[in-house]
Chains A and B, each alone.
Chain A
């Protein structure tokens, strides 16, 4: 077997029984791996109407054929399940070292079924698979859990992916964190893991990944590395990290501020890539096989005694990795907080407690708007900490309260949509399909509107990142023209990308899909072409859509909040612009070969080989 291991590990958490299965050859070929293959299994095995937090839901960890190889940034694994936040199929991606370790243990996929009767963790050491008691780990943060497991198991090279208190408490946007700082962040995959009473999956693998044509593989890898080496995108990621994006979005009036009430943040320069590099950066950190190293290990500033974090007695100032662009935006600009140390601390709390900083920040922002409107009052809050915009104390304290569901935190833990409904102001929810928007205001980048509305896992920036063409002069950022077509095209490409096991960032760093189609072909021995990849992306996208339709989603869920459609910004470069979703959505459906209700037509399904699955 080349590229793939060809095997999956299936564990019944209720009994601790596990078995190894062969992955059918045609499924591997038609879905590549990662997101695609896991989607196929979930579609086959799960009733889409199941409650995401019920034991019947399944949790799939999936690597791709390039995960664990030396292809640049071949570190990724995908968590696929029915999302606790959205109720839609979710595909949440993470880097670090855990994914390759699972592959080295000999498995492309790990499928977890049912729920453990008591807190447990799963230990995988090549063929050894064991469900062990995690009573002593329950309630611990992510960092301490990993340290304790390393000590307890005593195996060098052990990798841990687990949940923090947030996942245990089923916070709807809890994530699964691996290698302490890397997370499968969105849609509440951590809550699903918590509902299964599973604290962590500790993996050590000693096997290897073979490739079908080593010479062609190495030649293609080195061509890709050469293309990336001096690419400005790669250099910017390495030098400034993802937070460099703040300057760009702010310039376009596309940096959502104070729950999307403004499009520019006056303190953006406190949170951008330069600020982090110049004042807080300790070192760059790479994921497995990564030649970019965008990860930032940061410490707190010199005068921030009140925001201490305790990771290590000698290094209390090191706040771990981040914030990334999204975290800095959500916990910073979206809540109006321009204090980098407060954002760092809140971001660190999100990592340790196991929560998605995007949804956390966006939910705090929605709550702050409710406070502004008077729907949330001081009596509901902790004394002396108003949940007001611009308050750094609030983002720290209520982030913590959310993970433990203390006081108002119990409401915040349900996400912005449920929060808004609960307090009678559903309009404060800025998101789609129940998932909070990430850091691009569609009034600044029109294309993001249709990208958010149509994304299968709820609002997401990683499926079609339209600033790629809207911020570079290739398309006008304010018109809907050409956007749906571009979004469809890009959604296919990123979906195939996610299936290979490479990081999405290689695309912006000089290694677009074209450069690693030959790498995948040489690794697997399947003669993939770019057309095959795009087709696989489209097939997977339609399969996810079919899942969501069967789960009860309709055209009405491909929507955006009224604020984006009717209330333009008053100032800045994006002033006067609203999102023309009503124009873009029909074009999008048409472009996809779907009917006007957003359902794939029988002809389209037949074309993609999905006819028997609808």
Chain B
């Protein structure tokens, strides 16, 4: 069974518990600056959106890496950085279309979400179930519905005819 992270922005309250949990996993401290999930805050829209690696099937970060330091983990679900191999060239951060591969200031190596080996800490910490880890089969319909709603809202805002 393939599982994936599902993020429901409408449920997010912007509390940063996910950043705290992820930062903790990365550094053993409460340190949101080290978090690999980032909550984007759109104050004017009263909207908060946690965002992290989508674990693309065709992962450009993996393709771009000149030393094959990014691979697929044993579960087949997460693309992970092998820190030992990373040479700190930043190509993966440029290749990622979503901006979810980071380089760490302390060693200049790449870092990205590895789904915590199948038990993502951000999911556990979220108090409103805005981040879930679900069977991929269940996710398709949800994403279509969400996409439709966002699209309709946009059309309404720009005053397009229905």
Contacts and interface: CB of A to CB of B under 8 A. Distances in A.
Q: What are the nearest 10 A-B pairs in CB distance?
A: A208-B29, A208-B31, A286-B15, A286-B13, A206-B33, A291-B127, A297-B46, A293-B13, A312-B44, A283-B46
B45 interface: yes
B44 A318 contact: yes
A73 to B, nearest CB: 9
B47 A209 contact: no
Contacts of A314: 44, 157
B30 A68 contact: yes
Nearest to B125: A70
A104 B33 CA distance: 9
Nearest to B157: A314
Interface of A: 68-70, 97, 104, 157, 180, 205-211, 214, 225, 282-291, 293, 295, 297, 311-312, 314-315, 318
Interface residues of B, number: 28
B28 interface: yes
B50 interface: no
20 contacts: A70-B17, A70-B21, A104-B31, A205-B33, A209-B30, A210-B28, A282-B46, A283-B47, A284-B13, A285-B13, A285-B14, A286-B14, A286-B15, A289-B15, A289-B17, A291-B15, A291-B127, A293-B13, A315-B44, A318-B45
B44 A97 contact: no
A180 B43 contact: yes
Nearest to B45: A315
Contacts of A291: 15, 17, 127
Interface of B: 13-17, 20-21, 23-24, 27-34, 43-48, 105, 125, 127-128, 157
Contacts of B33: 104, 157, 205-208
A208 B15 contact: no
A207 B136 CA distance: 36
Contacts of B16: 97, 288-289
B30 A69 contact: yes
A493 B16 CA distance: 27
Given A209-B30, A283-B47, 14 more contacts: A68-B30, A69-B30, A70-B17, A70-B125, A97-B16, A209-B29, A214-B28, A283-B46, A284-B13, A286-B13, A289-B15, A289-B16, A293-B127, A318-B44
Nearest to B27: A208
A151 to B, nearest CB: 14
Nearest to B105: A206
Contacts of A97: 16
A206 B32 CA distance: 7
B32 A104 contact: yes
A97 B13 CA distance: 13
A68 B16 CA distance: 10
Contacts of B45: 315, 318
